Amino acid sequence: MPRYLTDQDIADFRAELCKVATERFARFGYEGVTMRQLAEALGCSPKTPYRYFKDKADILATVRAQAFAKFSDALEKARAGASDPADRGRLTGEAYLAFALKNPHAYRIMFEIDAPVDEKHPELGPAAERAARYITRGAEEMAASGVIEADSKLFGWSMWAALHGIVMLHQSGMLAHGPDYKSLSYFLGLTMLKGAGAKFGPGGVVQGGKGKKK
């Protein structure tokens, strides 16, 4: 007689499948992973994963949505304790790098998998959008408070591109031939803030503005 699966059994299997899928997609890409391989890694029948997910695309969308959600949670937690816009921006950047380096597989499936973030999976689009908002919102807050005088959208996306570049260099091992990632991120952040018109006080502390520039 077949064993009855409880809600916890189902949740546990889905979680284990997502864990294995995240690692496999990160290592081999979407095309390099099959449902049969995932089943073999889990020690189950090739048909078993289909009881929990529609297909491979559904699994990828699910694990990407989960990764974006965890990423956003980390950024939110980091900036929650700061009231100064410049401090929130710095803490967000630090949390970004910390998450990427601690969770390389999750980071890869978020930003390196060649698969669109569309409306086919109801959780993926909102999760990705939430992450993007946390990354770029700091620039909007700094512009609104007068800390920077640059276009906030361009500044925010430029900072994102810089952080992503640091992660890629670190993950590829190239920073072994250059500065450590913390020194590089500090220098890039400082240079971009200066270029955006930020003013610095004693000890290199960014000085807050008095409201949005007219």
List the beta strands (DSSP E) in the chain: 199-200, 206-207
Model confidence band, residue 170 (pLDDT cutoffs 50, 70, 90): very high
Asked if the model's pLDDT at residue 210 lies above 80, the reply is no
Asked if the model's pLDDT at residue 1 lies above 50, the reply is no
Tell me the residue length of the chain: 214
Tokens of 185: 């991120």
Tokens of 30: 């979407």
Q: What is the pLDDT of residue 213?
A: 39
> pLDDT tens digits, residue range 190-207?
999 999 988 776 555 576
Q: Across the chain, how many H-helices and E-strands are there?
A: 8, 2
Rounded CA-CA distance 11/144 in Å is: 44
Asked if the model's pLDDT at residue 38 lies above 90, the reply is yes
Task: Name residue 207's beta-bridge partners.
Answer: 199
Contacts of 107 (CB under 8 A, 6+ apart): 67, 71, 99, 100, 167, 171
Which residue type sits at 126? P
Tokens of 180: 């450590």
Q: What is the pLDDT of residue 211?
A: 41
Segment among 4-8, 85-89, 111-115 with least mean pLDDT: 4-8
**Residue reference for tokens 């980071």:** 107
Q: Where are the domains of the chain?
A: 7-199
Residue closest to 146 by CA, chosen among 210, 71, 67: 210
Number of CB atoms found within 10 A of residue 150's CB: 18
Class of the CATH-defined domain 7-199: mainly alpha
CB contact at 8 A, 146 and 197 = no
Q: What is the pLDDT of residue 63?
A: 95
